Chain A
């Protein structure tokens, strides 16, 4: 088997929006950059097919359009788990640079007349969402990164970080088609691998029919955990509203425009759940729909027939900016929203933060640094970041801070012990042994069923302990997972990473003995929100034996 060795200042794992923005900033600071991505960076990650919204306050005058308003909303809506000292640095301070970055790569957020098209949803105090055509955003970002002189390892999935004496000195990975084994030595490592999106059962049984990118399988979170980093906010379940059967984003736009949710009896039901009705938090919409369905009052529909037909048609056409194939779905099913109801449902679960302005994952400080020296995180894999706006801003922030860190180190960074490389190589290629026979799909299916059953929208100590027992049983089968191709070897790495993330999720959820953010974390045995004891983050890191250990870190709010 071929092996290649590269040396660089900064290694970025995950070439999505956060990773590529970090790469551009690090190059501006004069650092050498290597990017590893499972796919080809022009179309990799969650925004590969397009994206249509970016949240920003623009200081145009009204009180809602300001930094204090954004921080106030974040502090209230993600109270308990958002750290505003981090948000100020990784979002607010970089917002102007982020908007400029869109202009620089040739993917403006503006309309042709120079103004912004802004919309409001999810309980936010004003129209913070800039709607734009981001279908070419990722190819443009990818091209800019190559032009800036970053070295890109396309189709190279990271097997693990290389950690010596507690300090990361790079990472090892393999090419998912040729199997070439890569060892990258670096002074600093940035993890921008997105969230964990394929860890719950998909209602259709089609595992890759996800709302967010199915290639994002918690790889960065699992690697960070193994390296001794803290994870935070991983107890929260994310769900949203989707066309029944197709986990496509876009429905929020219909709801934001004034679409009504009705049940099988024709009753508008949202007001029963939330005084803000359809303009309320996403988790409340998902909860209301699940409850209606459980009570056998389904099917549940979105009704847009009362909306202005021209505005609606315009909206349907632009829905493809966020999910390119959503207009195909309408067309092929013969759904005309000016005339028809559309059946909707709650999506599959995901591991995610409480809302659009607060994330979950690797715990970062205001410098995007983790508790492991030289290890940084940004975008959806970092605990404070969520959505496109924070992927761009935290990427830029991490580009600056990793550059400063790398610039302080002399020489070529910490040496890589050969023993460690050999260990990882043996481990990562072991599913290719002929004696193995269990498919990653079978393993993944049982993992997804386990979390769906025990870590869903209603949780209890007894249910979660049963899920934990399932993971113990699954662990006994880990060494049977088989791969005949390097593509399947990549998938086997993904399921291994997902089971690690699953352990961390259950550990955190068992520890948080209260309920918070509706069905994001609803404990049947502790149904109340308890601000006296649980205003803060449940963090998870490995103990001396490598097992997940929870530690509660309080956060002060005004």
Chain B
């Protein structure tokens, strides 16, 4: 799920693609927009949002983070 890239605000500059330490964000060169290709490999580090010059990126957490249910397996 995370991050959410506003397709309206994104200008396709590609900054977020380079900012992601996990290779999660890719450019769609046909649409000239970035998108989240591997959502389940996001670390929620916020690098993409910090670097986005358009403020087009929001952080949305997976439900498992928002509702912390479950047993610690240790």
- Tell me whether A204 and B61 are in contact (CB under 8 A): no
Q: With A38-B23, A215-B21, A290-B74 in contact, do A245 and B46 touch (Cβ < 8 Å)? A: no
Q: With A43-B21, A206-B40, A215-B22 in contact, do A293 and B47 touch (Cβ < 8 Å)? A: no
B59 within 8 A of A: yes
- Tell me whether B68 and A343 are in contact (CB under 8 A): yes
- Tell me whether A204 and B43 are in contact (CB under 8 A): no
Residues of B within 8 A of A40 (CB): 18-19
B50 within 8 A of A: yes
Residues 14 to 52 of chain B near chain A (Cβ within 8 Å): 18-23, 38, 40-47, 49-51
- The stretch from A60-68, A327-335, A550-558 touching chain B is A327-335
- Tell me whether B21 and A45 are in contact (CB under 8 A): yes
Residues of A within 8 A of B64 (CB): 204-206, 209, 245
B62 within 8 A of A: yes
Residues of A within 8 A of B65 (CB): 204, 206, 209, 245-246, 329
Partner of B68, one of A135, A213, A246, A328: A246
Partner of B18, one of A43, A213, A214, A328: A43
A318 within 8 A of B: no
Tell me how far the C-beta of B54 lies from the nearest C-beta in chain A, rounded to whole angstroms. Answer: 17
Residues of A within 8 A of B44 (CB): 209, 246, 248, 323, 325
Residues of B within 8 A of A209 (CB): 43-44, 62, 64-65
A176 within 8 A of B: yes
**Interface residue tally of chain B, by bracket?**
20 to 34
Q: With A206-B62, A245-B65 in contact, do A49 and B46 touch (Cβ < 8 Å)? A: yes
Residues of A within 8 A of B19 (CB): 40, 42-43, 48
Q: Chain A CB within 10 Å — which of B40, B43, B68 has the most?
A: B43
Bound form: Cα–Cα A511–B57 in Å:
49
- Tell me whether B73 and A203 are in contact (CB under 8 A): yes
Bound form: Cα–Cα A90–B59 in Å:
38
A201 within 8 A of B: yes
- Tell me whether B40 and A208 are in contact (CB under 8 A): yes
Bound form: Cα–Cα A323–B59 in Å:
13
- Tell me whether A246 and B22 are in contact (CB under 8 A): no
- Tell me whether A245 and B20 are in contact (CB under 8 A): no
Residues of B within 8 A of A425 (CB): none
Bound form: Cα–Cα A490–B41 in Å:
13
Residues of A within 8 A of B74 (CB): 239, 290, 346, 349, 452, 456-457
Residues of A within 8 A of B67 (CB): 245
Name the CB-closest residue of B to A203.
B72
- Tell me whether B45 and A325 are in contact (CB under 8 A): yes
- Tell me whether B21 and A328 are in contact (CB under 8 A): no
Name the CB-closest residue of A to B68.
A245
Name the CB-closest residue of B to A448.
B73
Bound form: Cα–Cα A214–B20 in Å:
12
- Tell me whether A324 and B20 are in contact (CB under 8 A): no
Residues of B within 8 A of A245 (CB): 64-70
A240 within 8 A of B: no
- Tell me whether A43 and B68 are in contact (CB under 8 A): no
A155 within 8 A of B: yes
Tell me how far the C-beta of A122 lies from the nearest C-beta in chain B, rounded to whole angstroms. Answer: 21
Partner of A214, one of B41, B61, B72, B73: B41
Tell me how far the C-beta of B41 lies from the nearest C-beta in chain A, rounded to whole angstroms. Answer: 5
Name the CB-closest residue of A to B18.
A40
A44 within 8 A of B: yes
Residues 170 to 194 of chain A near chain B (Cβ within 8 Å): 176-177
Q: With A49-B45, A246-B68 in contact, do A135 and B20 touch (Cβ < 8 Å)? A: no
Q: With A155-B23, A246-B68 in contact, do A208 and B41 touch (Cβ < 8 Å)? A: yes
Q: With A204-B64, A204-B65 in contact, do A490 and B46 touch (Cβ < 8 Å)? A: no
- Tell me whether B59 and A328 are in contact (CB under 8 A): yes
Q: Chain B CB within 10 Å — which of A177, A210, A244, A328 has the most?
A: A328
Nearest first, the 4 A-B pairs at minimum CB distance are A324-B46, A245-B68, A49-B45, A244-B68
Return 13 A-B CB contacts under 8 Å, by A number. Answer: A40-B18, A49-B46, A49-B47, A204-B65, A209-B65, A214-B22, A214-B41, A244-B68, A245-B67, A245-B69, A293-B71, A323-B46, A328-B59
